[in-house]
Chains A and B, each alone.
Chain A
Amino acid sequence: MKPFTYERAKTPAAAAAAAMRTPGAKFIAGGTNLLDLMKLEIEAPRHLVDVNALKLDKIEATPGGGVRIGALVSNTDLASNTRIRRDYGVLSRAIVAGASGQLRNKATTAGNLLQRTRCPYFYDTNQPCNKRQPGSGCGAIGGYSRQLAVIGTSTKCIATYPGDMAVAMRVLDAQVETVNAAGTVRAIPIAEFHRSPGDTPHIETALAPGELITSVTLPAPIGGSHVYYKVRDRASYAFALVSVAAVVQRDGSGRVAIGGIAPRPWRVAGADAAMGQGAKAVAQPLLAGAKPTEDNAFKLALVERTIGAAIAQARETA
Chain B
Amino acid sequence: MKFDTRAGTNPIDQLKVIGRATDRIDGPLKTSGTAPYAYERSDVAPGQVYGYVVGSAIAKGRIRSIDLTEAKAAPGVLAIVTAADAGPLGKSKRNTAKLLAGPDIEHYHQALAVVVAETFEQARAAANLVRVDYARGKGRFDLDASKPAAKMPEDEPDKRFGDFEGAFAAAVVKLDARYTTPDQAHAMMEPHATIAAWEGDRLTLWTSNQMIDWAVGDTATTLGIPKENVHIISPYIGGGFGGKLFTRADAVLAALGARAAGRPVKLTLTRPMIFNNTTHRPATRQRIRIGCGRDGKITAIGHESWSGDLPGGQPETAVKQTELLYAGANRLTAMRLSVLDLPEGNAMRAPGEASGLMALEFAMDEMAEKLGMDPVEFRVVNDTQVDPMDPKRPFSQRQLVKCLRDGAAHFGWARRGLPGRVRDGRWLVGMGVAAAFRNNMVQTSAARVRLEQDGTIVVETDMTDIGTGSYTIIGQTAAEMMGVPLDRVVVRLGDSRFPVSAGSGGQWGGNSSTAGVYAACVKLREAIARQLGLDPATAVFAGGKVQDGGRSMPLTRAGALVAEDTIEFDKLSKEYQQSTFGGHFVEVGVHAMTGEIRVRRMLAVCAAGRILNPKSARSQVIGAMTMGAGAALMEELAVDKRFGFFVNHDLAGYEVPVHADIPHQEVIFLDEVDPISSPMKAKGVGELGICGVGAAVANAIYNATGIRVRDYPITLDKLLDRLPQMT
Residues of chain A whose beta carbon lies under 8 Å from any beta carbon of chain B? 1-3, 39-41, 118, 120-121, 123-127, 139, 142-144, 146, 229, 231-239, 241, 279-280, 298, 301-302, 304-306, 308-309, 312
Contact of A236 with B658 at beta-carbon distance under 8 Å, contacts A123-B272, A143-B642, A302-B594 already known? yes
Contact partner of A308 (CB less than 8 A), chosen from B593, B633, B655, is B593
User: What is the 8 Å Cβ interface bit string for chain B, positions 270-302, against chain A (1 contact, 0 not)?
Assistant: 001000000000000000000000000000000
Give every chain B residue within 8 A of A308 (Cβ-Cβ): 593, 726
Are B638 and A301 within 8 A (Cβ)?
no
A-B contact pairs, 28 of them (CB 8 A): A2-B125, A123-B653, A126-B58, A143-B640, A143-B647, A144-B639, A144-B640, A144-B647, A144-B648, A231-B596, A231-B716, A232-B596, A233-B634, A233-B713, A233-B716, A234-B633, A234-B657, A235-B660, A236-B661, A279-B726, A301-B721, A302-B594, A302-B717, A304-B726, A305-B726, A308-B726, A309-B426, A309-B593
Question: Are A238 and B594 neighbours in the complex by a CB distance under 8 Å?
Answer: no
B610 is an interface residue with CB less than 8 A from chain A: no
Query: CB-CB < 8 A to A120: which residues of B?
Result: 638, 647-649, 653
A120-B649, A144-B648 as given contacts; A234 in contact with B640, CB under 8 Å: no
Interface of A is mostly: loop
- Distance A126 CA – B653 CA, assembled complex (angstroms): 17
Q: Which residues of A have CB within 8 Å of B562? A: none
Q: Which of B125, B128, B643, B661 contacts A235 (CB under 8 A)?
A: B661
Q: How far is the CB of A45 from chain B (nearest CB, A)?
A: 14
A127 CB, nearest partner CB in chain B, Å: 7
CB <8 Å contact, B717 and A298: yes
Question: Which residue of A126, A304, A309 is within 8 Å of B591 (Cβ)?
Answer: A309
Binary per-residue interface labels of chain B (634-665) against chain A in the complex, 1 for a CB within 8 Å, 0 otherwise: 10001110110001111011010111110000
| B715 contacts partner chain A, Cβ-Cβ < 8 Å | yes
Residues on B with C-beta less than 8 A from A302 are: 594-595, 716-717, 720
User: Is there an interface contact between A306 and B647, defined as CB atoms closer than 8 Å?
Assistant: no
Q: How far is the CA of A113 from the CA of B72 in the complex (A)?
A: 39
Within 8 Å of chain A (Cβ to Cβ): is B57?
Answer: yes
Q: Does the CB pair B655–A305 fall under 8 Å?
A: no
* Cα A306 to Cα B723 with chains together (Å): 13
Partner of A127, one of B125, B639, B643, B713: B643
Q: CA A304 – CA B723 in complex, angstroms?
A: 13
B124 on interface, CB distance cutoff 8 Å: yes
Closest residue to A238 on the B side, CB-wise?
B655
Contacting pair B633 A233 (CB below 8 A): yes
Whether a CB of chain A sits under 8 angstroms from the CB of B331 is no
Alpha-carbon distance between A122 and B594 when the two chains are bound, in angstroms:
28
| Closest CB in chain A relative to B189 CB, distance in Å | 15
User: A39–B647 Cα gap in the complex (Å)?
Assistant: 19
* List of B residues within 8 angstroms of A40 by Cβ: 272
Question: Assuming A2-B125, A144-B640, A144-B647, is B593 touching A312 (CB within 8 A)?
Answer: yes
B660 touches A239 (CB 8 A): no
A121-B647, A233-B713 provided; 5 other pairs, C-beta below 8 A? A118-B653, A120-B649, A146-B717, A301-B720, A309-B594
> What is the minimal beta-carbon distance from B705 to any residue of chain A, in angstroms?
14
- A296–B177 Cα distance when bound, in Å, is 26
CB neighbours (8 Å) of B660 from chain A are: 234-237
A144→B272 CA distance, assembly (Å): 17
Complex CA gap A240/B726 in Å reads 21
Nearest 8 interchain pairs by C-beta: A298-B717, A126-B57, A235-B660, A236-B660, A144-B647, A144-B638, A309-B593, A233-B634
With a cutoff of 8 Å between Cβ atoms, the chain B residues found around residue A232 in the complex are 596
Out of B121, B638, B726, name the residue touching A146 (CB < 8 Å). Answer: B638
Query: A126 vs B61: C-alpha distance in the bound complex, in angstroms?
Result: 15
The verdict on A142 contacting B657 (CB below 8 Å), with A301-B721, A302-B595 known, is no
Provide the bound-state CA to CA distance between A66 and B58, in Å.
53
**In the complex, what's the smallest C-beta–C-beta distance from A279 to chain B, in angstroms?**
6
Interface string of B123-134 (1 = CB under 8 A from A): 011001000000
Chain A residues near B596 (CB, 8 Å)?
231-232
Q: How far is the CB of A241 from chain B (nearest CB, A)?
A: 8
Q: Which of B124, B426, B593, B653 has the most CB of A within 10 A?
A: B593
Q: Collect the chain B residues with CB atoms within 8 Å of residue A118's CB.
A: 652-653
For B272, the chain A residues whose CB sits under 8 A away are 40, 123-124
**B650 contacts across to A, CB distance below 8 A:** 123
Residues on B with C-beta less than 8 A from A146 are 638, 717
Which residues in B have their C-beta under 8 angstroms from that of A231?
594, 596, 716
A147 nearest CB across to chain B (Å): 8
Residues A3 and B125 in contact in the complex (CB < 8 Å), given A120-B648, A234-B660: yes
A121 contact set on B, CB distance < 8 A: 647
Cα-based distance from A121 to B721 in the complex (angstroms): 29
Query: In the complex, are the beta carbons of B720 and A298 less than 8 A apart?
Result: yes
Closest-by-CB residue of A relative to B121 is A1
A-chain residues with CB within 8 Å of residue B594 when the two chains form the complex: 229, 231, 302, 305-306, 309
Are A233 and B715 in contact, with the CB atoms below 8 A?
A: yes
**Beta-carbon contacts of B704-716 to A below 8 Å, as 1s and 0s?**
0000000001011
Considering residues A144, A234, A239, A302, which has the most beta carbons from chain B within 10 angstroms of its beta carbon? A234
B525 at the interface (CB under 8 A from A): no
Assembly CA distance A310 to B701 (angstroms): 23
Q: Which of A3, A123, A235 contacts B658 (CB 8 A)?
A: A235
B residues near A143, Cβ cutoff 8 Å? 640, 642-643, 647
**Which residues of chain B are within 8 angstroms of A123 by Cβ–Cβ distance?**
272, 650, 653
Map CB proximity to A onto B683-722 as digits: 1 under 8 Å, 0 otherwise.
0000000000000000000000000000001011100110
* B263 in contact (CB, < 8 A): no
Contact flags B73-91 to A (C-beta < 8 A → 1, else 0): 0010000000000000000
B712 to chain A, nearest CB (A): 13
Q: Is B349 an interface residue (CB 8 A)?
A: no
With known contacts A2-B125, A280-B726, A234–B661 Cβ distance under 8 A: yes
Task: Flag B115-149 by CB within 8 Å of A: 1 or 0 each.
Answer: 00000010011001000000000000000000000
Interface residues of B in 592-606 (CB under 8 A from A): 593-596, 598
Docked complex: B349-401 residues within 8 A CB-CB of A: none
What's the least CB distance linking A200 to chain B, in Å? 24
Report the minimal beta-carbon distance from B583 to chain A, rounded to whole angstroms.
25
Contact of B124 with A1 in the complex, beta carbons under 8 Å: yes
Tell me the complex Cα distance, A123–B715, Å.
24
CB distance from A143 to the nearest CB of B (A): 5
Q: Is the CB of B655 within 8 A of A234?
A: yes
Which residue in A1, A139, A234, A312 is a CB contact (below 8 Å) of B643?
A: A139
Across the interface, A142 reaches (CB within 8 A) one of B58, B642, B653, B715, namely B642
CA distance A234 to B720 in the complex (A): 16
Contact of A239 among B642, B652, B716 (CB under 8 A): B652
CB distance from A196 to the nearest CB of B (A): 24
Whole-angstrom CA separation of A39 from B650 in the bound complex: 14
- Interchain nearest-CB distance for B716 vs A (Å): 7
In this complex, the member of B58, B643, B657 whose beta carbon has the largest number of chain A beta carbons within 10 angstroms is B643
Hey, which chain A residues are within 8 Å of B128, CB to CB? 41, 125
Roughly how many angstroms separate A285 CA and B670 CA in the complex, as a whole number? 59
| Residues of chain A with a CB closer than 8 A to B657's CB | 234
- With A298-B717, A308-B593, A312-B593 as known contacts, state yes or no: A235 contacts B598, CB within 8 Å: yes
Q: How far is the CB of A110 from chain B (nearest CB, A)?
A: 22
Contact A237 B658 (CB under 8 A): yes
The listed residue (B638, B659, B720) touching A305 by CB distance below 8 A is: B720
Residues of chain A within 8 A of B658, CB atoms compared: 234-237
The distance in angstroms between the C-alpha atoms of A124 and B276, with both chains bound, is: 12
Chain B stretch 251-280: residues in CB contact (< 8 A) with chain A: 272
State in angstroms the CA–CA spacing of A171 and B594 once bound together: 21
Question: Whole-angstrom distance between the alpha carbons of A143 and B591 in the complex?
Answer: 29
